[in-house]
């Protein structure tokens, strides 16, 4: 059965996640090709080891780029470090003001705190880039090719990371404001306060979006192998803890039953794990993807792949090559 619900108009953000090498990028890119037929679609990679360019057979990079030969599909490979640098540049004045007015740090210390790298903040900023794009409302669908499991979870816990960071700054700020109020009796919100308030709002917005099953869906991708199944279990469990409910699963790389002896043997071995998957994830909608005779690369191959992924046809990419 193919993936379901992708065309629901409320559904804006679709994330693909799973262990390394299971086919996340391939599924995300072919879903992009599929949805672009009806919707303005943006395919975004947050995996630092970007492979959307490879999958599409076209250099993408950190600027939104139109995908050749696929109308209505654009792609972007987020450079989280660059996003953080830009964020710091944009809010340098506000952040330094908070440090300056709320701490005893001298200018030199402030510079070094400002340039300090805060773990996870670059990814947070990467996700903020997606939110900013969504706010602009240029696209109907945003498809995210996430990094392997551990990383994807960091991305989703990121609102908390950002929240902690804002809280830390706000705490400093409150001390300062308390003093100002005590000594001068009056207090006025300044740009540093506005900055904190805005950041707080961003965190809330991201969290609400990720937890809204109508607007956001996380699709798990796995393969019929023991380690991948274990990791999928962990991933779905952890996502659940963050309030993200996984509804469907792609089981990729399943060998087709054919006259080929090797394929038959392989399939027999896989059958054991496919049954395990069916039992373990009985409540999830499952889409089986067959192993193709060659890599799925380029818009044409992706468009054939998606006939099976999203339309339910049983195809081999090779039949068109
Ligand atoms: N069903 C499939 N049949 C054949 N090759 C596949 C299939 N799914 C993925 N691939 C290939 O396997 C490699 C890894 O897939 P990819 O989508 O990049 O995985 P991930 O993003 O999870 O690391 C790619 O070269 C891709 O073309
Ligand atoms: Mg990938």
Q: What is the pLDDT of residues 88-128, one digit of tens each?
A: 888 888 888 888 877 777 888 878 877 777 667 777 777 88
Minimum-distance ligand 1 atom for the alpha carbon of 296: 27
Give the residue, by CA position, lying nearest to ligand 1 atom 2.
291
Which regions in the chain score pLDDT beneath 70? 118-119, 177, 179-181, 183-188, 314-321
CA of 221 to the centre of ligand 2 (A): 11
Give the residues surrounding ligand 1 with Cβ less than 6 Å away.
20-26, 51, 252-253, 289, 291-292, 295-297
Q: Which pair of structure tokens corresponds to residue 229?
A: 């199944």
Q: How far apart are CA 102 and CA 99, in angstroms?
A: 5
CA of 251 to the centre of ligand 1 (A): 12
Residue 315's pLDDT is what?
A: 63
Cβ contacts of residue 229 below 8 Å, gap of 6+? Answer: 222, 273, 276, 277, 280
Give the residue, by CA position, lying nearest to ligand 1 atom 23.
21
Alpha carbon 159 to chain centroid distance?
13
Question: In the block, which residue shows the tokens 């975004």?
Answer: 44
Q: How far apart are CA 218 and CA 244, in angstroms?
A: 7
Per the rule left: phi > 0, alpha: psi between -120 and 50, beta: everything else, 12 is alpha
CA of 21 to the centre of ligand 1 (A): 6
CA of 192 to the centre of ligand 1 (A): 46
Q: Which of 18, 23, 319 for mutating ligand 1's site (highest number of atoms within 8 Å of CB)?
A: 23
Give the closest ligand to the alpha carbon of residue 29: 1
Q: How far apart are CA 193 and CA 125, in angstroms?
A: 20
CB of 101 closer than 8 Å to CB of 68: no
Residue 242's pLDDT is what?
A: 86
Instruction: Say how many C-beta atoms besides its own lie within 10 A of residue 59's C-beta.
Output: 10
Domains and CATH numbers, the chain: 13-79+138-155+211-320 (3.40.50.300), 82-122+164-203 (no CATH)
């Amino acid at each position: 059965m193919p993936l379901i619900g992708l065309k629901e108009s409320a559904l804006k953000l679709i994330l693909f996640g799973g262990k390394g090498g299971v086919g996340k990028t391939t599924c995300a890119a072919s879903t992009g090709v599929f949805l672009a037929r009806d919707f303005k679609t943006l395919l975004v990679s947050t995996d630092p080891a970007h492979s959307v360019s490879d999958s599409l057979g076209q250099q993408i990079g950190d600027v939104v780029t139109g995908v050749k030969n696929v109308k209505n599909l654009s792609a972007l490979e987020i450079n989280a470090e660059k996003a953080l640098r830009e964020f710091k540049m944009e809010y340098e004045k506000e952040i330094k003001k908070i440090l300056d007015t709320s701490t005893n740090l001298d200018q030199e210390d402030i510079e070094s705190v400002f340039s300090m790298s805060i773990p996870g903040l670059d990814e947070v900023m990467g996700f903020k880039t997606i939110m900013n794009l969504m706010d602009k409302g240029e696209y109907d669908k945003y498809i995210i090719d996430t990094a392997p499991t551990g990383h994807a979870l960091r991305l989703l816990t990121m609102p908390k990371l950002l929240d902690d960071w804002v809280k830390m700054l706000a705490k400093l700020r409150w001390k300062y404001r308390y003093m100002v109020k005590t000594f001068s009796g009056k207090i006025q919100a300044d740009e540093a306060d506005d900055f904190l308030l805005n950041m707080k709002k961003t965190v809330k917005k991201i969290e609400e979006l990720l937890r809204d099953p109508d607007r956001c869906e996380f699709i798990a991708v796995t393969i019929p192998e023991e380690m991948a199944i274990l990791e999928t279990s962990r991933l779905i469990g952890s996502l659940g803890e963050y309030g993200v409910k996984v509804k469907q699963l792609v089981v990729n790389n399943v060998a087709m039953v054919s006259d080929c002896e090797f394929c038959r043997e392989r399939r027999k071995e896989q059958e054991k794990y496919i049954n395990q998957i069916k039992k373990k994830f009985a409540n999830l909608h499952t889409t089986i993807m067959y192993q193709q005779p060659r890599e799925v690369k380029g818009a044409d191959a992706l468009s054939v792949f998606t006939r099976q992924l999203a339309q339910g046809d049983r195809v081999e990419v090779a039949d068109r090559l």
